[in-house]
């Protein structure tokens, strides 16, 4: 075992000498491994960071939550021209299903509308995400408050001019003043602030910190139920342990009956289960990983050829030394491992440079953007392991060639 440690030490010394004595040649040859490892680990780190962000953002949501609307969360076999003819879900359909559905924990109604500006005195916040929802939304979404409350059922039904605002909006409008009870202007009308949400941070599916929640009936009264610029959705939160297929079938059967959809005709609405959306996102992330591996694989291939080139040159430069080692009793296996370790060490050095670049860029992007890029231990070990494998594969042929040299011929050639 001690012999192999000495062998590893000598190989490391030879690798360092190659870097010192032939800096430009060695660095150019290692560039392929560096770029390859950088590309793969950068893609994997970005995808892992994105996956963590999505998981964090969705942690408060029940994956069994169902969204019934005229649009599909994922790909659909129904032609686009036919989907465009689907009607928006209506508020009266929400009321009917609320009374007709069984095994339902919560049920709400939401309208997706455009952003608005909010004013208070001389302060204005633009591009506010307005979220018109029914009163049940707080129990479906699990909103947390810094102060105040959500609007009640009576306030929601009567379209009371009350609003719950995100943390960033409260700070921008009121600074250090108390926001509860203050009047703000939106849609050309005064709204009373009754609640301020806790600071959440930006999310992948909306930013509660820059959102304003108002009763859905206010938007219905202002824009009507048939406005094509709005997208309506009925949200279902089934009871725990419910058979989801049976629950979806019940929604379909009752909404079809309410709309008068005939037997044999397709549903003119989509029943989107949130877990299906997360599966769709997971599929996209997996595809991103595959594409990253394919693109980075070419860089690793070039890097492998670069390492092989270094090792063949190294064998040629040290032919005389190989001959002397073999004449003094060094076995073929010793020579083989010596050059193999050297190739692995050189490749790992290139991989470490690539990992270092990923770490530096991740740190810069994390500070520049509101998104945390994480270079995890798993990706570090993967990058190092890949570099070692590339070195092993690239160095095997030069190492075999070195181990099979005839000692007499090697010494004569070296002279």
Predicted local distance difference test score (pLDDT) of residue 110: 93
At residue 228 the predicted structure's pLDDT band, cuts being 50, 70 and 90, is: confident
pLDDT digits (tens, 9 = 90+) for 319-333: 777 777 777 776 777
Q: Average pLDDT for residues 25-50, to the nearest whole number?
A: 78
pLDDT digits (tens, 9 = 90+) for 262-307: 888 888 899 888 765 666 666 777 777 777 777 777 777 777 787 7
pLDDT of 279 reads 65
- One-character DSSP codes across 99-137: HH-SSEEEEEEEEE---EEEEETTEEEEEEEEEEE-TTH
337 versus 183: the higher-pLDDT residue is 183
Percentage of residues of the chain with pLDDT beyond 90: 21
**Over the stretch 44-57, which tens digit does the pLDDT of each residue have?**
788 777 777 776 66
Range in 80-89, 143-152, 211-220 the model is least confident about = 80-89
Q: Which two tokens stand for residue 264?
A: 């044999």
Give me the pLDDT at residue 71, please.
85
Among the residue ranges 115-119, 174-178, 180-184, the one predicted with the least confidence is 174-178
Query: Which residues does 360 contact at the CB level (< 8 Å), separation at least 6?
Result: none
Contacts of 74 (CB under 8 A, 6+ apart): 276, 277, 280
Q: Please, what is the average pLDDT of the chain?
A: 82
pLDDT band for 413, please (50, 70, 90 cuts): low
CB of 310 closer than 8 Å to CB of 25: yes
Characterize the bridge pairing of strands 145-148 and 116-120.
unpaired
In this prediction, residue 361 carries a pLDDT of 87
Q: What is the pLDDT of residue 206?
A: 56
What's the whole-number mean pLDDT along residues 71-81? 80
pLDDT at 92 over 60: yes
pLDDT at position 61:
60
How far apart CA 13 and CA 154 sit, in angstroms, is 79
Q: Which has more pLDDT, 412 or 359?
A: 359
CB 380 within 8 A of CB 310: no
Range of 225-234, 250-259, 276-285 with top mean pLDDT: 250-259
Place of tokens 């520049």: 368
Q: What is the pLDDT of residue 134?
A: 93
Q: Please tell me which residue, 160 or 279, carries the higher pLDDT value.
A: 160
Task: Enter the tokens of residue 94.
Answer: 């929400």
- For the ranges 3-12, 235-244, 328-337, the one whose mean pLDDT is highest: 235-244
**What are the tokens at 115?**
């952003």
Averaged pLDDT, 85-101: 90
* Cα distances (Å, whole numbers) of residue 127 to 115, 186, 213, 360, 369: 5, 12, 14, 33, 19
Decide if pLDDT at 168 tops 80. yes
Q: Do residues 213 and 137 lie in contact, with contact meaning Cβ atoms separated by under 8 Å?
A: yes
Helix (H, G, I), strand (E, B) or coil at 165: strand
Among candidate residues 341, 345, 376, the one with its CA nearest the CA of residue 358 = 376
Taking every pair of Cα atoms in the chain, the longest distance, rounded to a whole number of angstroms, is 101
Residues contacting residue 205 through CB under 8 Å, at least 6 positions apart: 57, 58
Place of tokens 């810069």: 364
Between CA 97 and CA 295 the distance in angstroms is: 50
Buried/exposed code over 246-279 (b: 16+ C-beta within 10 A; e: otherwise): ebbebbeebbbeeeebeeeeeebbbbbbbeebbe
């Amino acid at each position: 075992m001690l012999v192999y440690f000495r062998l590893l030490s000598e190989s490391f010394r030879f690798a360092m000498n190659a870097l010192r004595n032939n800096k430009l040649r060695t660095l150019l040859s290692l560039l392929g491994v560096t770029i390859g490892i950088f590309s793969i680990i950068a893609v994997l780190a970005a995808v892992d960071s994105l996956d963590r962000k999505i998981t964090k953002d969705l942690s408060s949501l029940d994956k069994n939550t169902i969204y019934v609307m005229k649009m599909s969360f994922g790909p659909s076999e129904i032609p686009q021209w036919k989907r465009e003819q689907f009607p928006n879900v209506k508020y009266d359909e929400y009321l009917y299903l609320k009374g007709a559905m069984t095994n339902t924990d919560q049920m709400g109604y939401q309208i997706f509308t455009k952003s608005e500006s909010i004013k208070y005195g001389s302060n204005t916040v633009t591009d506010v995400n307005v979220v018109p929802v029914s009163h049940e939304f707080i129990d479906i979404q699990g909103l947390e408050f810094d102060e105040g409350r959500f609007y009640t059922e009576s306030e929601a039904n009567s379209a009371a001019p009350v609003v719950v605002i995100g943390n960033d909006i409260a700070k921008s409008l009121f600074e250090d003043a108390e926001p509860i009870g203050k009047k703000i202007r939106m849609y050309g009308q005064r709204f009373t602030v009754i609640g301020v949400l806790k600071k959440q941070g930006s999310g992948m599916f909306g930013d509660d910190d820059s959102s304003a929640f108002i009763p859905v009936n206010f938007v219905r009264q202002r824009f009507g139920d048939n406005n094509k610029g709005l997208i309506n959705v009925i949200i279902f939160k089934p009871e725990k342990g419910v058979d989801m297929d049976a629950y979806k079938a019940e929604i379909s059967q009752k909404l079809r009956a309410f709309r008068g959809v005939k037997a044999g005709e397709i549903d003119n609405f989509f029943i989107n289960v949130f877990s299906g959306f997360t599966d769709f996102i997971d599929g996209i992330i997996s595809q991103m990983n595959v594409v990253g591996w394919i693109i980075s694989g070419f860089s690793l291939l070039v890097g492998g050829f670069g390492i092989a080139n270094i090792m063949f040159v190294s064998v040629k430069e040290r032919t005389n030394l190989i001959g002397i080692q073999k004449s003094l009793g060094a076995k073929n296996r010793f020579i083989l491992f010596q050059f193999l370790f050297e190739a692995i060490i050189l490749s790992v050095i290139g991989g470490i440079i690539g990992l270092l670049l990923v770490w530096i860029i991740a740190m810069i992007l994390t500070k520049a953007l509101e998104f945390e890029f994480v270079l995890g231990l798993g990706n570090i070990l993967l990058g190092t392991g890949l570099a070692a494998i590339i070195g092993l594969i690239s160095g095997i042929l030069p190492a075999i060639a070195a181990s099979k040299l005839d000692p007499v011929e090697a010494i004569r050639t070296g002279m």
